[in-house]
Structure 1
C-alpha cells in the first residue's frame, strides 16, 4: 500500500476542503441548533460530484476509488458530521448497494438521481425492538400472487427507527422478513419509493448529537411493493445488509477521523491563544500531552481507515478490518473531543465554541452501524473462528 495519495486524490481532498469551508463550516452550529441541515445542500453535494464517488460513470457516478472517498468523507466529517452522515447513507449504504446488487433496471432507475443529489436514499434496517439484533427484525413482507420470480407483490407491515435521511429520502432500502425461517435466513431487501401509499414518517427530535440529520421513524401499514422492487433473491437480504454495513463502517471511520482532526485544530488554536499563569497554555506540558494524544489517535485512526479503502479497491476481504477501523476511530473521536474540551476548560462546555458539538457528534459514532461491543464480537469471531451470535 502506497501511503502517499496521488495528485488526483489530493485534488479531490482540496475540493472537499474548499466545499466545507464555503458551504458547511459557517453554518454547522446554526444547523445544529435548528436540528436541520439546509436541504439544498444535498443538490450542491451532488453537483460537486461527492454523491457519485466510486459509482460507475455510466449510471451518473463520478468514479474514483475508495481512498478518495475516505479522504472526502474525512473533510465532510471535519466540517459537520451531520453532513457526512447524509453522504455516508445515501451513497455509502444505498447507492453503492444498488450498484453492487441491483439489476439493470434498478441501477438505471435509482443511481443517476442518487449520484446527482436529485434523489436521496435511506437504509431501513433498525427497528424499535431490534437494534444490534438485526437478524431478528419483525417487519414483514407477505407475498401475494405471481408465484415465483418477479411476478406479484409483497405487502409490508412494520416500523423502522433511527433512520438517517428518513424524512428526506426518496427511496428506502428496506429490510423485511419474507419467510418463516428464524433469524437472518428469512430477511429480504427491497427498494421502495418513499411516496408509496401506506408509508408514514416522523422526524425524531431532541438527539444528543448529529442534530442536523433528518433522523426518522418510518411506519409501513399495508404497503404494496412489486416483486420487481426486490433487491437480490428472496431470503438473502441479511447478506445485503451486512455487506453494506461493512463498507459503511469505513465511511463512519473516515468521518470520525474528521471529528478528531477538527478537535485537534480547535484545541491547538485555542491553546496558542489562551493565557494563564503568565503565558499561553500551549506552553504547559499537560496541555501538550492532551494535544499529543489527539494527534496520535487521529493518525492511527486514519491509517486503519485507509487500509480498509486499499483492501476494497484491490478486491480483497475487508469486513474485519472495517470493524477494527470503525471501533478504533469512533472511540478515538470521543477521546479526541473530550481532550479538546479539557483544553478549552469551562469555555468548551458552551456552544459558542466548537468542541461541545464535536463531543456530542462523536458519541453516537460508537453506537450506530454496529456498537463498539458488536465490533468487538465481529473481530473476536474472526480471530477465533467461533460464532459470537
Structure 2
C-alpha cells in the first residue's frame, strides 16, 4: 500500500483494524449476509478493540481519538464487509455523537460509557416515511405533559434500532404547534428514548438489497412517555443540531465508500491474476488492467477528498462543502468500482459466493443514505453561491 502520510499511531490503528477485518470479519461475512443475521460476535470483537469509543474522550470511556481515527477504522472494515462498517459508523456518528455533542453532563455520564464500550448501541430516528431528504417536514410530535414528553409518530430506515443491545434511540420531533409552508415545522427538537419503552414498537426488519447483516427497522411511537430532561440539547435546535451531526457523518460515510471501492480493487487484482483465458491471465489484457487502473484512480481521489474534509473538521475550519464533495465523489466511486469489479469477474461476479457480488449490492445505498447524491450537489452549489 502506498505511503498514507499517517502518524505512527494512526498507521498502527489502521493495521490493527485491517488485520481484524481480514481474520475475524471476512471469514463470516458471507454467512451473515446470506442469513441476514446481525454479527454479534464481530461487534463484540470491535468493542473489545475499543472501536466504538474511538472519537470520544477517555472520561466517558472513549479512546481519546477523533473523527479521522474513526474513519480509518470504518474504511478498513468496509474493504471486506459494509454491514459491519455501517454498524460502527452509525453506532458512533448517529448513536453516540449526538449525546456527546449536545447532551447534558448527566446524559453523557448515563449513556456514553456503555456506548463507547460497545455494550450498547444507540440509533438516531430522523427519517420518516414522508420526510427523507426533506427532514424539515418531520411529522412526529412531542408534547410536554406534566413533566413528560409524549411522543407520537413513525420513523423509517433506522440503523441499529432493533438489536439485542440497542439501548436508546434519539428522535427528532415537532415540539411546537406552529407549522410553516408545506408542512415544515418551525420547532423541531431531539429527544432521547430508552429502549425498550412502552409505546415504542420496533417493526419487522426491512428486506433490503444490500447491507444484509446491518440492523435496519421502521419504528412506531404511540404515546411514548419520557421525562422532560430527556430533551437533547436546546428545545427547537433539533434540526440545526441534526445538520451538524450529518455533516460529520458524511465524512465517515465517505470513508466507508472508499473502503468498499478499495475492496473492489483488491478483489479484482486477485481475480485478474488468477483467472486465465485464451492461454494467459486476464490481467495481461489491457481491457482488464486499464479498468482496474481506473478503479484505483477513483479510490485514490475519493480517499483524498475525505482526508481533506476530515482535516478541515478537526482543525475547526469550515468543512460542509468539502464533506458534501467527499460524500458525492466517494459514493460514485464505490458504485462505479462495484460495477466494474463485477464485470471483471464475469459470470462469477454475479454469484454471491464472490465478495464483489456483495460489494455490488452494498454500494447503491451509499448514493442515498445520509444525504442523496442530489442533496450533495445542492449543498455544493449553495456554497458556490448558486
Pick the TM interval, shorter chain: over 0.9
Report if aligned partners of 1:56, 1:63 keep a CA contact under 8 Å in 2.
yes
Q: Which residue of 2 aligns with 1:272?
A: 273
CA-to-partner distance for each residue in 1:49-98, whole Å, 9 max, x for gaps? 11001101000000113222211110011121111111111111221221
1:1-389 alignment runs, 5 A limit: 4-145=5-146, 152-168=147-163, 169-181=166-178, 182=180, 183=184, 185-384=186-385
State the TM-score, normalized to the length of structure 2.
Answer: 0.96
State the TM-score, normalized to the length of structure 1.
Answer: 0.95
For the residues of structure 1 that align with 2:168 and 2:92, how far apart are their CA atoms?
12
CA-to-partner distance for each residue in 1:115-163, whole Å, 9 max, x for gaps? 0011101110001111111110101101113xxxxxx111000010110
Residue range with higher mean Cα deviation, 201-210 or 369-378: 201-210
Structure 2: state its 5+ residue gaps: none
For the residues of structure 2 that align with 1:95 and 1:320, how far apart are their CA atoms?
24
CA-to-partner distance for each residue in 1:285-305, whole Å, 9 max, x for gaps? 111121011100110010001
Kindly tell me the number of residue pairs found equivalent between the two proteins.
Answer: 378
Task: Compute the displacement of 1:44 (Å).
Answer: 2.2
SS of residue in 2 equivalent to 1:368: coil
Report if aligned partners of 2:52, 2:92 keep a CA contact under 8 Å in 1.
yes
Report if aligned partners of 1:66, 1:310 keep a CA contact under 8 Å in 2.
no
For the residues of structure 1 that align with 2:236 and 2:68, how far apart are their CA atoms?
33
For the residues of structure 2 that align with 1:288 and 1:185, how far apart are their CA atoms?
54
For the residues of structure 2 that align with 1:9 and 1:184, how far apart are their CA atoms?
43
For the residues of structure 2 that align with 1:210 and 1:38, how far apart are their CA atoms?
12
For the residues of structure 1 that align with 2:94 and 2:319, how far apart are their CA atoms?
16
SS of residue in 2 equivalent to 1:203: coil
SS of residue in 2 equivalent to 1:272: helix
